[in-house]
Chains A and B, each alone.
Chain A
Amino acid sequence: GENVEQHPSTLSVQEGDSAVIKCTYSDSASNYFPWYKQELGKRPQLIIDIRSNVGEKKDQRIAVTLNKTAKHFSLHITETQPEDSAVYFCAATNSGYALNFGKGTSLLVTP
């Protein structure tokens, strides 16, 4: 089955800096790659996603890049703010609805 690895497991940045989280996947048939943000005690929420026919997608301060050849994808957050502090999960799937998640990255943005 699909195996998704996520790095780093923890990340601390200063407010205003950029943060990058990287994921690799094993199943070359995977075609949908969402990123979820989970604040403490809350449910995961989708922040951005990308499909295998696109190499990059941007939404304000958040961008995701996908390299299908290398089987990795990354989340980029620019101009980080304290409210970006949360756990971020990447996921991959070839079936649309059965998400295989990475282990998560705990992001801390310090003022």
Chain B
Amino acid sequence: KAGVTQTPRYLIKTRGQQVTLSCSPISGHRSVSWYQQTPGQGLQFLFEYFSETQRNKGNFPGRFSGRQFSNSRSEMNVSTLELGDSALYLCASSSTSGGNEQFFGPGTRLTVL
């Protein structure tokens, strides 16, 4: 089975712009979670989607949003970018039958200038 894929892998934006990141889960996985990784804060949970519905949400401002499509692919959007949004954005997919193991994608490295 192909692993979790994320596009694009690298992105450079300027403050005030918005960005959309994409995640394709492992085939058959219906849960997709998003995390922000920074050197200072580590890995922080953003949100989780299952069957096109947001099931869990972390403590991030409303500028961070996401959605999931019927084929389980997910996108996250960040509006009005700030310098502090520079980070590695990781998505992870899980099979909801059996364990909780989350399989991570390679991440999208976002740099905000």
Contacts and interface: CB of A to CB of B under 8 A. Distances in A.
Given A95-B56, A97-B94, A34 B100 contact: yes
Given A32-B100, A49-B101, A97 B31 contact: yes
B48 A98 contact: yes
A97 B101 contact: no
B66 to A, nearest CB: 13
Interface in A1-54: 1, 32, 34, 36, 42-46, 49
Contacts of A46: 101-103
Q: Is the interface of B mostly helix, strand, loop or mixed?
A: strand
Contacts of A42: 106
Interface range, B side: 20 to 34
Nearest to B3: A43
A43 B90 contact: yes
B110 interface: no
B44 interface: yes
Interface centre among A34, A89, A96, A104 (most CB of B within 10 A): A96
A97 B30 CA distance: 11
Contacts of A49: 99-101
Contacts of B42: 89, 101-104
Interface of B: 31, 33, 35, 41-45, 48, 50, 55-56, 58-59, 90, 94, 99-107
23 contacts: A43-B90, A43-B106, A89-B42, A91-B43, A93-B100, A95-B48, A97-B50, A97-B100, A98-B45, A98-B56, A98-B58, A99-B33, A99-B35, A99-B43, A99-B45, A99-B102, A101-B35, A101-B44, A101-B45, A102-B42, A103-B41, A103-B42, A104-B43
